[in-house]
Structure 1
Amino acid sequence: MKLTVVGGGSTYTPELIDGFARLRDTLRVEELVLVDPAFERLELVGGLARRIFAKQGHSGRIVTTSDLDEGVEGADAVLLQLRVGGQAAREQDETWPLECGCVGQETTGAGGLAKALRTVPVVLDIAERVRRTNPDAWIIDFTNPVGIVTRALLQAGHRAVGLCNVAIGFQRKFANLLGVSPADVHLDHVGLNHLTWETGVRLGGPEGENMLPKLLAEHGDAIAADLRLPREIVDRLGVVPSYYLRYFYAHDEVVRELRTKPSRAAEVAEMERELLKMYGDPELDEKPALLGKRGGAYYSEAAVDLAAALLGGGGSTYQVVNAYNRGTLPFLPDDAVIEVQAAVGPKGATPLPVPAVDPLYAGLMANVTAYEDLALEAALRGGRDRVFKALLAHPLIGQYEYAEALTDRLIAHNQEHLAWA
């Protein structure tokens, strides 16, 4: 089996490598190709990756290349984890929206739209090149904004599934609180990427006992603290929202906080400099502890599980993924991309039935889905007016004065990445 990671020079790749090494019985990788245009960085990451495989006794071959076509040729699955524009573009996404009093974040709001505009054309080009060399390859997208990027891939006819680590993070936390194995925890996870709610936490599978009331009663303070929301709000909701919901539920509070501290991008950039120094140490043969602060916890386990299920090698029968709605949530279009539990196998991901969704959540999902429609249109066709409409539709913006000002800033900061600008 050959797997290719596009964006393999990411400082986060050793986390993925560690997962491939530890879970080699779940996913038997014979050749792992890391593709990245930043060759010097790629070689540092590749060297550590080979040492991790060697230490853990994995017999697979690790190849590094800056040639995309060479890297994806014959691949059974291609994992996308790229960042167009790097941390410098992320720094901009997190700062210029604040000038207009809006959240600066890399996956939602104005910053999230900027990332989508930069990313969608690049990902579609990569996917077309994969299709030319191996039309049967699966594309697993971890590149943000996952929902929009996955929808672009599916609309173009690619065999694609989107993956996010939010659900597996909750699964691990709840399992720890309940004192059970993560495999015993099934989440009633519903929403769009980075706009999700845990409406149930079940033991043993979709029909198992719902432990969410017990978790909220006994561990509500800890859960609320992790979400950085008041305990009272979590209790009133009766569900556990993704931590990304804080941008919606406490928007102005978050803006005030972001204006008083360094951006997350600046923190990550400094962390990456330190990690790359570590990766250059020929004695290092395991992922360093610092990598745990980089973000993307448990991505490796989720990615291995998903790839194994898609390629017929095992993995979980049920997994939270991003896939076409196709009637699962009747208040959304069939071609909306939703993030829910799905049955995953060699034919792809089929969402499981979802109970009726409270209007409090359904309304916000419908609003953000409309924004994603407009965002994808802007990413595919360009144009200032399309950017403006997408910004105006976003519930974190929603005022024409903000949308006008943000449109100007978005285009000014991203001209080198927008062919139409």
Structure 2
Amino acid sequence: MKLVIIGGGSSYTPEIIEGVIDRHHQFPVTELVLVDIEDGKEKLNIIGALAQRMIEKSGVSIQLSWTLNRQEALMNADFVTTQIRVGGLAARAKDERIPLKHGLIGQETNGAGGIFKAFRTIPVLMEICNDISEICPNAWLINFTNPAGIVTEALLKYSAHKKVIGVCNIPFNMKHSVAEIMGCNPEEVEIEFIGINHFVFGSKVLIRGEDKTDQVLAKLSNSELNYSPANIVSLGWKKEFIESIKLLPNPYHQYYFQTDEVLKKDIKAFHENGTRAEIVQQVERELFQKYQDPNLQVKPKELEKRGGAYYSHAACSLMASIYNNKGDIQTVNIQNHGAISDLPFDCVIEVNAVITKDGPKPVTIGRLPKQVKAVIQQMKGFEELVVEAAVTGDYSLAYASMIMNPLVRNESKAKAVLDELLEAHREYLPQFH
């Protein structure tokens, strides 16, 4: 069985290598290929050498190679994962810095920054999908390139390859956070998820099969609890908010329901420490220094400082379940197909699904809770505009996606930020130029 990791020079790759090694008894990968582009060659070589040491230490039988030739790497692939960042962390810094300059939240997957990450990423992943369709059409593409839901929707609607599943670490983090606040094992926690990527809610929490939703929500209304991944500083939730929506929010919801407080905090952090991208660049430098240590044979603990930690756990669990036709429940980004009756049939939602060899089968939700129905529908409408703008390069659609985003929603700022980001990312946006 062959696994290809596109974006193999990413600092996250040691985590996916660890995941493959740990699951080798049930997911017996025999060939593993890391792929990157010329600009990532040095990092790819460092990651490749570390991955080789990790595999040798584990004693599992995996043939490892790394290359800049994507088409060659894809030959006979059974699974392909994508973890790319078009323009690198320098592009992310612009996504954060430029909106902040205009008094808007600057974040890599939400607001104006998230829109432009999608604009840069979708055309590249469309090309990758076209390659997969021609070279290894039976392969499953597991995408954890952000914004995962928007990107997955673009690929399923417009690319030649349809065996595409999006994954995110937020549902994984939410389960672990619930386990922490309830003093139990994460494996004992089940959450019914409803919504879309980075805008998903938990409607029911079961612990060891028993409904503990009310107890979890009561504890969550205690603002002293830290309920966030590494890249989001939790502000806590007011008791009235939790009691009113009667749902488990995810950490990204603070951008939408605590916008003023988050913006104030982000501007202060920007003036004191720079953008989150600049902080991550320092974390990456330290990680790659560690990765070059010839005595390092395991994933270093410091990787968990990255906000996307545990993406790989979700991806590896998903691939193992597809391979084994396991029929377990996992949270994935897939087409709705009627699971949520209040959203379009062909849109991508983030939902619990039964994982089979033929792919995920979404668990039917029915109607959205009335407390969040309108806001989820608005977010989905915004996402559809982003996808169409990214595929067509239509300026009017790009502007519409900006103005309809709840974190922008100001006609003069929308145009100013749109034009500035279009120019700042010109080399990565051929469809608009």
TM-score normalised to the size of structure 1?
0.95
1:405 corresponding residue in structure 2: 416
CA contact (8 A) 1:139 1:161 kept: yes
Does residue 166 of the first structure (1) align with residue 166 of the second (2)?
A: no
SS at match of 2:101: helix
The one-letter code matched in structure 2 to 1:194 is H
Kept in 1: contact 2:325–2:355 (CA 8 A) = no
Query: Is the partner of 1:408 in helix, strand or coil?
Result: helix
Shift of 1:77: 0.7
State the match for 2:308 in structure 1. Answer: 296
- Residues in 2 aligned to 1:314 and 1:348: alpha-carbon distance in whole angstroms: 9
With 262-271 and 20-29 compared, the bigger mean Cα shift is at 20-29
* TM-score, normalised with respect to structure 2: 0.92
> Contact 1:20–1:27 at 8 Å: present in 2 too?
yes
Could you say what secondary structure the match of 1:187 adopts? strand
Give SS of 1:259's match: helix
- Does residue 1:330 correspond to 2:331, yes or no? no
**Residues 334-373 of structure 1: matches in 2 within 5 Å?**
334-354=345-365, 356-373=367-384
Q: What SS class does the counterpart of residue 226 from structure 2 fall into?
A: helix
- Note if contact 1:306-1:315 (Cα within 8 Å) is conserved in structure 2: no
- Partners of 1:306 and 1:316 within 8 A in 2: no
Partner of 2:426: 415
Aligned-partner Cα distance in 1 for 2:12–2:226: 26
> CA–CA distance in 2 between the matches of 1:23 and 1:149?
27
- Say which SS state the counterpart of residue 328 (structure 1) adopts: coil
- In 2, the alpha carbon distance for the partners of 1:203 and 1:335 equals 32
Within 1, Cα distance between the matches of 2:247 and 2:117?
30
Aligned to 2:355, the other structure's residue is in SS state: strand
Indicate if the aligned counterparts of 2:341 and 2:366 stay in contact, CA closer than 8 A: no
CA distance in 2, matches of 1:2, 1:52: 18
Match of residue 199, structure 1, among 171, 178, 203: 203
- Aligned 8 A contact 2:15 2:313 in 1: no
Amino acid at match of 1:98: L
Q: CA RMSD in A?
A: 1.7
Quick one: distance in 1 between partners of 2:142 and 2:44? Answer: 20
Which segments of 5 or more consecutive residues in structure 2 lack a partner in the other structure? 228-233
1:54 aligns to what? 56
- Counting only pairs closer than 5 Å after superposition, residues 88-237 of structure 1 correspond to structure 2 as 88-155=90-157, 156=159, 157-204=161-208, 208-218=209-219, 220-221=221-222, 224-226=225-227, 227-232=234-239, 233-237=241-245
1:307 matched residue in structure 2: 319
3-state SS, counterpart of residue 222 of structure 2 = helix
Paired with 2:280 and 2:326, the residues of 1 have a C-alpha distance of: 31
Aligned mates of 1:131, 1:374 — CA distance in 2 = 25
Matched residue of 1:213: which SS? helix
**8 Å Cα contact 1:163/1:322 also seen in 2:** yes
Query: C-alpha separation between the residues in 1 aligned to 2:358 and 2:41?
Result: 35
Q: Distance in 1 between matches of 2:25 and 2:31?
A: 15
Residue of structure 2 in register with 1:28 after alignment: 28
Instruction: Give 1:180 deviation, angstroms.
Output: 4.1
* Cα shift at 1:179: 4.5
* Counterpart pick for 2:291 among 279, 294, 318: 279
Q: Distance in 2 between matches of 1:352 and 1:143?
A: 24
| C-alpha distance in structure 1 between counterparts of 2:394 and 2:366, whole Å | 39
Contact 1:388 1:407 in 2 (8 A): yes
Contact 1:26/1:315 (<8 A) preserved:
no
User: 1:224: Cα distance to partner?
Assistant: 4.7
The whole-number CA distance in structure 2 between the counterparts of 1:179 and 1:225 is 14
* Deviation at residue 45 of structure 1 after TM alignment: 0.5
Whole-angstrom CA distance in 2 between matches of 1:23 and 1:122: 30
Amino acid in structure 2 at the alignment position of 1:13: T
> How far, CA to CA, are the matches of 1:412 and 1:329 in structure 2?
38
Mapped partners of 1:115, 1:34: distance in 2 = 23
Cα distance in 1, alignment partners of residues 180 and 29 from structure 2: 30
Q: Say if 1:384 and 1:407, in contact at 8 Å, map to a contact too.
A: no
Counting matched residue pairs gives 417
% identity of equivalent residues? 37
User: Residues of 1 paired with 2:51 and 2:210: CA distance?
Assistant: 41
Deviates more, 1:352-361 or 1:390-399: 352-361
Q: Which runs of 5+ in 1 are unaligned?
A: none
